[in-house]
Structure 1
Amino acid sequence: MADQKKNVTEPAERLSYEEARAELASVVERLEAGGTSLEDSLALWERGERLAAICQRWLDGARERIEAARPAAGS
């Protein structure tokens, strides 16, 4: 249970894309499995939302880098 609380409160901004994606997959599995209290389910959902936002920021950043490199590749 201590690990669960640690995962919920860990500063997510420091996670790599791969770490955030893996933890998000774990959160989804736990929510789909059920068997948690309403409070725990809500905490997992909120954590999942934060993790999804982190993944999206990483993907947006990668897209920007690719778009910025395209004109340079054509030169």
Structure 2
Amino acid sequence: MGMPRLDDPDLPLADIMSYWPETIPVFLRHKMLCVGCLVGPFHTIVDACAEYHLDQERFMGELISAVAGRS
């Protein structure tokens, strides 16, 4: 199966934080309660951005930068 892709719109938040723990500070910086949330295995970035009224492209850019070590 291989490594998941960070830009996969169906990837659950829990998987993102598990595969790329360097993304956790991005969630915390936005005061998102996604870290450790029981809904994390079911919610995606699309869901979280809608819930927290965040621009999805900008947020995804922050996650990608964190993974690349540029945050």
TM-score, with normalisation over the residues of structure 1?
Answer: 0.29
Higher relative CO (Cα under 8 Å, sequence separation at least 6) belongs to 1
The structure richer in helix per residue is: 1
* Greater C-alpha radius of gyration: 1
